[in-house]
Amino acid sequence: MRAGDLAPGDQLPSVRSLAARLGVSPATVAAAYGELRRRGLVTGTGRAGTRVSPAPPVSTRGYHSAPGGTRDLITGAPDPGLLPVMPARPAARAGLYPETPVAPRLRALAARQLAEDGVDTASLAVTGGALDAIERVLAGWLMPGDRVAVEDPGHAVTFDLLAAMGLRLVPVPVDDFGMRPDALARELAGRVSAVIFTPRAQAATGAAWDARRAADLAEVLRQHPSVGVVEDDHAGPVAGVAAHTATGRLARWVHIRSVSKSLGPDFRLAVLAGDEATISHVAGRQALGTGWVSYQLQESVADLWSDPATIEHAARVYAARGRALRGALAARGIPVTGRSGMTCWMPVPDEDRIASAMASAGWAVAPGRRFRIAAAPGVRVSFATLEPADAERFAADFARARHARTVRLD
């Protein structure tokens, strides 16, 4: 797979045929296939056969990119024109060791911001972004082979991270208000050790909790006190809707507030609130490695959080762009999800055909397989840079692509 000899979707030999070819026991091959499956490298079993995963977590795996000459609606990055300018700062602390891993000014601002959203801020840490926080937290909670409930469709890179850690993904369906409580309750009745939520600006669908959904999920979680809970609020204040949390009165939990969408992807920083034991473990392991996140970076984030006008403006622009796109699609009878963030999801029967047709029309959209496990096919559109004036043309082209039929030439 790393060499490219096996591509995503390729079928592997049967257990017996490969055992005969290699001169080993079928049990040895079956065990190897089982390990590959646990690591997220292959899927399938039994008569259906074993295939390379659509997105195996190996170093050569790439991501969808926009074909030349198309408008990029694949990349989930924010609009560069809406990002604040990084303030110039004197290098007063350059070369010094900080007294605490969290800069005091950032701690005060983060505590106030999170507390306003109902998050307990007694224990805080700062990590190098949301994925760094997720990896550190899960490494302290879980062992390889443990099962983690994830949103489906969901965040593709999180899927890859969990698979690379040897964790088993348990897909849970979502609707416009996020993970469905009834489906989560069914999965937690089995052997699930942790669950990862996106409370708003869900990476694939744009779903977002309201107060009722947060309360319903919290009620389900309180019936399973041993389950660790991760809330990944990656978009934060530019999500376009209010924040909600389901972490109240839980034993093992973290709430992650990243700045990559609001301040820019190069700000590799996230503030992490959680139960005392988890935050202590994260900080302790961090002290033995990177030590802390740069104080220059922490102080820059504090500067920008102290003057939120640019962030608030960006939130209004993203919300307007989302409303325009979803409205134009709905007016043409096209089902579309999303009520927050910078992405939306359209269910389609053939995501590759739609993506190809849209590319021919000048639009690059992402086939949904990269973001789903058991969910039905669809395409994801990232509208961060799509002006309302362009929404009508996009929707018209999408309607034509959706209703076009493949012509057979044989």
| DSSP string of 372-393, one letter each residue | -SSSPPEEEEE-TT--HHHHHH
Where does CATH 1.10.10.10 sit in the chain?
Answer: 1-62
φ/ψ of residue 328, rounded to 5: -65, -40
> Cα(368)–Cα(345) distance, rounded to whole angstroms?
8
**1-62, CATH topology level:** Arc Repressor Mutant, subunit A (1.10.10)
> 3-state DSSP call for residue 274?
strand
Nearest to 392 by CA among 297, 346, 307, 323: 323
> 3-state DSSP call for residue 272?
strand
Q: For strand 253-258 and strand 228-233, is the pairing parallel, antiparallel, or unpaired?
A: parallel
CA dihedral angle for residue 239, residue 332, residue 328, residue 392, rounded to 10 degrees: 140
φ/ψ of residue 223, rounded to 5: -80, -5
31 backbone φψ class: left, alpha, beta (φ>0; ψ -120 to 50): alpha
CA distances from residue 338 to 85, 170, 190 in whole angstroms, order as listed? 29, 23, 30
> Cα(320)–Cα(310) distance, rounded to whole angstroms?
16
Percent helix, strand and coil across the chain, each rounded to 5?
Answer: 40, 15, 45
- In sequence order, the β-bridge partners of residue 380 are 345, 366
- In sequence order, the β-bridge partners of residue 390 are none
Nearest to 230 by CA among 192, 274, 200, 265: 274
According to the model, what pLDDT value does residue 34 have?
Answer: 86
Which of the following CATH numbers is that of domain 71-80+310-403: 3.30.930.10, 3.90.1150.10, 1.10.150.20, 2.40.37.10?
3.90.1150.10
Cβ atoms of 213 and 178 within 8 Å: the answer is yes
Angle, in degrees to the nearest 10, between helices 130-141 and 156-164 = 40
Length of the chain counted residue by residue: 410
**Taking the domain 100-306, which CATH number applies?**
3.40.640.10
- In sequence order, the β-bridge partners of residue 172 are 151
Cβ atoms of 395 and 328 within 8 Å: the answer is yes
Angle, in degrees to the nearest 10, between helices 388-403 and 309-331 = 30
> Cα(135)–Cα(254) distance, rounded to whole angstroms?
12
50 backbone φψ class: left, alpha, beta (φ>0; ψ -120 to 50): beta
Where does CATH 3.40.640.10 sit in the chain?
Answer: 100-306
pTM over 0.75: yes
Torsional sign, CA 310, 386, 231, 102: negative
> 3-state DSSP call for residue 112?
helix
pLDDT tens-place values along the chain, 410 residues long: 877 788 878 899 999 999 999 999 999 999 999 888 877 788 876 667 898 887 676 654 456 778 888 999 998 899 999 999 877 766 555 556 788 999 999 999 999 999 999 999 999 999 999 999 999 999 999 998 899 999 999 999 999 899 888 888 999 999 999 999 999 999 999 889 999 999 999 999 999 999 999 999 999 999 999 999 999 999 999 999 999 999 999 999 999 999 999 999 999 999 999 999 999 999 999 999 999 999 999 999 999 999 999 999 999 999 999 999 999 999 999 999 999 999 999 999 999 999 999 999 999 999 998 899 999 999 999 999 999 999 999 999 999 999 876 544 44
Nearest to 370 by CA among 388, 352, 389: 352
Pull the structure tokens for residue 34.
Answer: 């089982």
According to the model, what pLDDT value does residue 62 have?
Answer: 52
217, amino acid identity? L
> Cα(330)–Cα(12) distance, rounded to whole angstroms?
42
Q: Give all strands (DSSP E) within 78-146, no chain letters.
A: 124-127
Number of H helices, E strands in the chain: 12, 15
Nearest to 322 by CA among 294, 341, 309: 341
